[in-house]
Amino acid sequence: MAVAALLPLAAQAEDIDTEHIFGFMIGSDVGTVGEREFQSQTTGSFAKDGGTYRAFNQQLELEFVPVQNFRVELGTAFMAHDINGVPGFEDRRQLSWQNVSVDLRYRFLGRESAPFGMTLAVETHADRVDETTAAVVRSYGTEFTLAFDREVIPNVAVAAINLSYQPEWTRVALTGAAEQDSTIGAAFGLMAKVRPDILLGGEVRYFRKYGGIGLDDLAGQALFVGPTAYFQISDRSRLTATWSVQAWGRLAGSNAALDLVNFERHQARLVFGVNF
């Protein structure tokens, strides 16, 4: 409602590029041919079922657009964990190099020639530290995301939907135990220009986590809600800030109103990018 009240300020705004305006979600735009970007993405996860839980992921990425409608992103990440007294977790306080990743995106439909934009993103990563428990592992996973977006008010407001599936294979180094799990998700986001260089909005995300990569046994589910802000700092640089809280969740076999075993209570992300 607050964003809608400010929409007249942006009545003469330029077209919205959805590539980077969302926080946890993605838009269908992939950039222009020859574009190159460096991106720093910091993600924080806070609060589990008791004790102290803080996890920070710092990802550094290089993005390229070699041909029309196709984007390549190469990345690496570091993790910092502070875990103390969380049920089912070992106490840890450590900083570690976590993973390498490759993110490929292809835009099948563009909003300029179709009723909506549509992009398929495939992100593959290899981890040496578990992002949740901080245990030493050998983990491989791929996240498939189908992104749709449409300008609901031309040049002013854009809505997006993401559908995702993420299978994961993990082997714990200490015990040799092998695990498989998967997560499916659906998300809705809305962003609106309140000034030519500022967009405000929010994201609603729903996840279901399963044991096994074939969605075999439901482990838990959670609904996250929170605001997002995008700032175009200059012609070449940008900043996106977002925060989400678990508004509802359910651990399998439990009547609790939240799932703080498979998911966190709070998630936050800060993304800075620059073209070069």
User: Would the pLDDT of 252 be above 90?
Assistant: yes
Q: Tell me, what's the pLDDT at 6?
A: 44
Strands (E), the chain: 36-46, 52-67, 70-84, 92-109, 117-129, 136-153, 157-172, 178-195, 198-211, 217-232, 237-251, 266-275
Q: Tell me, what's the pLDDT at 15?
A: 78
Three-state DSSP class for residue 118: strand
User: Would the pLDDT of 75 be above 70?
Assistant: yes
Q: Which of 272, 273, 259 is nearest to 224 (CA)?
A: 259
Look at strands 92-109 and 237-251 and give their pairing: unpaired
Cα–Cα distance for residue pair 183/218, rounded to 1 Å: 10
**pLDDT band of 210, cuts 50, 70, 90:** very high
User: Would the pLDDT of 243 be above 80?
Assistant: yes
What percentage of the chain has pLDDT greater than the value 90? 91
Residue 160 · residue 118 · CB < 8 Å: no
Q: Which residues contact 267 (CB under 8 A, 6 or more apart)?
A: 24, 43, 44, 45, 46, 224, 226, 243, 244, 245
Q: Tell me, what's the pLDDT at 36?
A: 97
pLDDT digits (tens, 9 = 90+) for 153-179: 999 999 999 999 999 999 998 888 899
Q: What are 264's two structure tokens?
A: 């966190």
Range of the domain at 124: 2-275
Burial class (CB in 10 A: 0-12, 13-18, 19+), 207: buried
Cα–Cα distance for residue pair 222/106, rounded to 1 Å: 29
Query: What does the DSSP 8-state code read for residue 2?
Result: H
Instruction: Report how far Cα 165 is from the mean position of its chain's Cα atoms.
Output: 13
pLDDT digits (tens, 9 = 90+) for 22-31: 999 999 999 9
Any idea what the CATH number is for the domain that residue 111 is in?
Answer: 2.40.160.40
User: Would the pLDDT of 8 be above 50?
Assistant: no
Burial class (CB in 10 A: 0-12, 13-18, 19+), 34: exposed
Query: Quick check: pTM over 0.85?
Result: yes
User: Would the pLDDT of 2 be above 50?
Assistant: no
Number of domain units in the chain: 1
Question: What is the phi-psi region of residue 123: left when phi exceeds 0, alpha when psi lies from -120 to 50, beta otherwise?
Answer: beta
Q: Which of 68, 169, 73, 57 is nearest to 123 (CA)?
A: 73
